[in-house]
């Protein structure tokens, strides 16, 4: 009788093979597996799925078998033939028809982020992002590298929309934002979070400040559903005048940038902000000791690989905001992926 596997070795195996789990998910999304099953009248067998995907029966069967213990698919083996259907997770997050689907962001992770992570050791040695090694694209101008093609820009923008379809309302209701009538979402992509804000707070008007190519992408492919309450202004928040507002939203923005650039941006926001107004920072916030949560620590490594910033603790955010002139610092843990920080500009 064999002895039980050493728990430390088992953990090592799980860590070492974790990338394979990600690739099962990414491949299933790329092949269109979950949409195929969503459109079927009932569970499908391997032959029907392989034909529908235009994939080999052997490869399809192996992929399906791996998806079941990962809880991406359910399987029914009654009658001696395995038939597969989307799991609850897949129905909620992996099909095109789901309002909370995450396929664009998953495909971005699989095609772009994954390739950058192959150069993690180089990033640690150099202390810089890896767009040059992964894609041959110089990253001196960070978002020129991130938006390296129209297709890449559209996929990344759609991915952000998907994130806010799940986490947007949670971060926007962490504080009562109804006193703020004019809101500016800096770097707000195609306006997904701004539209959610307009729905939650019907008395507000939200201006999304974004670089021209993102605004053009949004207008061409991702039209607003709240015209009149949400609008765009083209501009660079480091260089161009900021729209005057009662509240500025910085959602998944500060983690992209170094402390020096964050300080410069926050000082510009404070200067533009109306007295009594404030700034809502939406980020993954590290624990006070900076040693967790694990997902946020991995997010910091991702910023090393793909940007120039990092995730931060509440104390670090407080220091950045205070140096820019903001007070009344408050952090709310939302229970979701992102947390919310509200800081205010004093009345004269």
- What's the chain's average pLDDT? 95
pLDDT band at 280 (very low <50, low <70, confident <90, very high): very high
pLDDT band at 187 (very low <50, low <70, confident <90, very high): very high
Q: Note whether 271 and 339 are within 8 A (CB).
A: no
In the set 119, 205, 255, 270, the catalytic residue is 255
Are the folds of 17-93 and 103-344 the same?
A: no
> What is the reported pLDDT for 225?
74
Residue 172's alpha-carbon distances to 60, 166, 299, 341, in angstroms, are 42, 12, 21, 10
**Residue matched to tokens 């931060």:** 312
Written in H, E and C, the secondary structure of 65-106 is HHHCCCCCEEEECHHHCCEEEECHHHHHHCCCCCCCCCHHHH
Q: Which of 269, 343, 341 is nearest to 311 (CA)?
A: 341
Name 102's bridge partners: none
Q: Percent of the chain scored above 70 by pLDDT?
A: 99
Arithmetic mean of pLDDT, 16-37: 97
Helix (H) or strand (E) holding 277: strand 273-283
Least confident of 1-5, 194-198, 341-345: 1-5
Residue bearing the bigger pLDDT, 301 or 140: 301
Q: Which residues lie below 8 Å from residue 287, measured CB to CB, with a gap of 6+?
A: 293, 313
User: Per residue in 264-278, pLDDT tens?
Assistant: 999 999 999 999 999
CA distance 277 to 7: 53
**Domain locations in the chain as residue ranges:** 17-93, 103-344
Name the 3-class secondary structure at 339. Answer: strand
Residue bearing the bigger pLDDT, 228 or 53: 53
CA distance 221 to 192: 13
User: Per residue in 146-169, pLDDT tens?
Assistant: 888 889 999 999 999 999 999 999
User: Per residue in 290-323, pLDDT tens?
Assistant: 999 999 999 999 999 999 999 999 999 999 999 9
Arithmetic mean of pLDDT, 35-45: 97
Q: Which of 281, 231, 233 is nearest to 257 (CA)?
A: 281
> What is the reported pLDDT for 144?
81
User: Per residue in 211-245, pLDDT tens?
Assistant: 999 999 999 888 777 668 999 999 999 999 999 99
CA distance 251 to 169: 13
- Give CATH superfamily name and number for 103-344: Vaccinia Virus protein VP39 (3.40.50.150)
Cα angle value 105/161/230 (rounded, 5°): 165
Half-sphere exposure of 87 (CA within 13 A, CB side): 13
User: Per residue in 64-103, pLDDT tens?
Assistant: 999 999 999 999 999 899 999 999 999 999 999 999 999 9
In b/e form, how buried is each residue of 140-170, taking b as 16+ CB within 10 angstroms? eebbebbbbeeebbbbbbbbbbbbbbbbbbb
Q: Which residues lie below 8 Å from residue 191, measured CB to CB, with a gap of 6+?
A: 185, 206, 208, 218, 222, 224, 230, 232
Backbone angles phi, psi at 199, to 5 degrees: -70, -40
- Assigned CATH topology for domain 17-93: Arc Repressor Mutant, subunit A (1.10.10)
Instruction: State both tokens at 210.
Output: 């974004």
> What is the reported pLDDT for 2?
57
pLDDT band at 3 (very low <50, low <70, confident <90, very high): low
> What is the reported pLDDT for 139?
79
CA distance 132 to 140: 10
Backbone angles phi, psi at 152, to 5 degrees: -65, -40
Name 248's bridge partners: 184, 279
DSSP assignment of 238-261 equals: TTSPPPPEEEEEEES-GGGS-HHH
Catalytic annotation on 15?
Answer: no
User: DSSP label at 136?
Assistant: S
């Amino acid at each position: 009788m064999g002895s039980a596997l050493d728990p430390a070795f088992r953990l090592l195996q799980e860590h070492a093979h974790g990338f394979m789990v990600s690739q099962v998910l990414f491949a299933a999304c790329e092949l269109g597996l979950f949409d195929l099953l969503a459109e079927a009248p009932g569970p499908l067998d391997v032959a029907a799925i392989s034909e529908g995907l235009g994939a080999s029966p052997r490869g399809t069967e192996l992929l399906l078998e791996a998806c079941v213990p990962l809880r991406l698919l359910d399987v029914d083996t009654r009658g001696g033939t395995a038939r597969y259907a989307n799991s609850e997770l897949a129905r909620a997050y992996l099909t095109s028809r789901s309002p909370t689907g995450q396929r664009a962001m998953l495909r971005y992770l699989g095609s772009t982020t994954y390739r950058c992570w192959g150069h993690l050791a180089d990033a640690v040695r150099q202390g810089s992002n890896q767009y040059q090694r992964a894609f041959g694209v110089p990253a001196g101008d960070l978002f020129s590298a991130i938006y390296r093609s129209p297709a890449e820009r559209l996929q990344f923008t759609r991915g952000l929309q998907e994130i806010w379809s799940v986490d947007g309302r949670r971060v926007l209701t962490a504080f009562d934002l109804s006193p703020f009538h004019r809101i500016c979402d800096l770097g707000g992509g195609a306006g997904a979070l701004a539209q959610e804000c307009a729905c939650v707070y019907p008395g507000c008007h939200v201006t999304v400040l974004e670089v021209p190519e993102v605004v053009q992408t949004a207008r061409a492919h991702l039209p607003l559903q709240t015209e009149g309450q949400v609008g765009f202004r083209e501009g660079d928040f480091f260089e161009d005048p900021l729209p005057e507002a009662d509240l500025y939203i910085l959602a998944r923005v500060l983690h992209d940038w170094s402390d020096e650039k964050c300080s410069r941006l926050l000082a510009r926001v404070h200067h533009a902000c109306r007295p009594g107004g404030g700034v809502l920072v939406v980020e993954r916030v590290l624990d006070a000791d900076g040693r967790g949560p694990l997902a946020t620590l991995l997010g910091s490594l991702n910023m090393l690989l793909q940007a120039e910033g990092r995730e931060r603790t509440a104390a670090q955010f407080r220091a950045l905001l205070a140096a820019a002139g903001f007070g009344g610092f408050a952090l709310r843990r939302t229970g979701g992926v992102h947390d919310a920080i509200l800081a205010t500009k004093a009345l004269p």
